[in-house]
């Protein structure tokens, strides 16, 4: 399994590459990739990037990072604003965290503390996913 990054909709100003949150073109996908501080190959291998507007099917047991309010509303419904930013919680049979949307209009990432919190949330998402894999590989059913 991989970690799901859930944006709200495709980039209205960028080229349509057919991929959600594409880090290779200008827009939120590239900004999130830059926030992550990861090499491109590791980023692409570690994250499944989807948009809420495409109504993706996220399997039970997944690790999910919701990008912004619209993605949080889509996934969490009425409780989206009750959940803290940058903290993982268990909801809808998934481990979920929220971070501010990485659009160029969001000024929150002008703050280096917010950049660090978002980067650490992405790192924790990958660690949670890896730890799930290592535990399930040792459990016999």
Question: 89 φ, ψ to 5°?
Answer: -140, 160
Per residue in 5-46, pLDDT tens?
Answer: 999 887 666 656 668 898 998 889 999 999 999 999 999 999
Per residue in 46-70, pLDDT tens?
Answer: 999 999 989 999 999 999 999 998 9
Angle among Cα 132, 67, 13 to the nearest 5 degrees reads: 135
pLDDT of residue 111: 92
The pTM score is 0.88
Domains located in the chain, CATH noted: 3-138 (3.40.470)
C-alpha gyration radius of the chain: 15
């Amino acid at each position: 399994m991989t970690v799901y990054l859930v944006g709200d909709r495709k980039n209205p100003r960028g080229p349509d590459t057919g991929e959600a949150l594409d880090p290779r073109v200008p827009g939120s996908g590239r900004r999130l990739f830059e926030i992550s501080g990861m090499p491109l190959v590791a980023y692409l291998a570690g994250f499944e990037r989807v948009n809420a507007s495409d109504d993706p099917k996220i399997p039970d047991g997944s690790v999910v990072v919701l990008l912004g309010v619209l993605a949080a509303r889509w996934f969490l419904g009425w409780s989206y604003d009750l959940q803290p930013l940058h903290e993982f919680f268990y909801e809808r049979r998934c481990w979920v965290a929220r971070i501010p949307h990485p659009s160029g209009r969001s000024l929150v990432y002008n703050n280096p503390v917010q950049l660090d919190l978002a980067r650490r949330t992405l790192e924790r998402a990958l660690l949670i996913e890896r730890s799930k894999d290592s535990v399930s590989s040792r459990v016999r059913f």
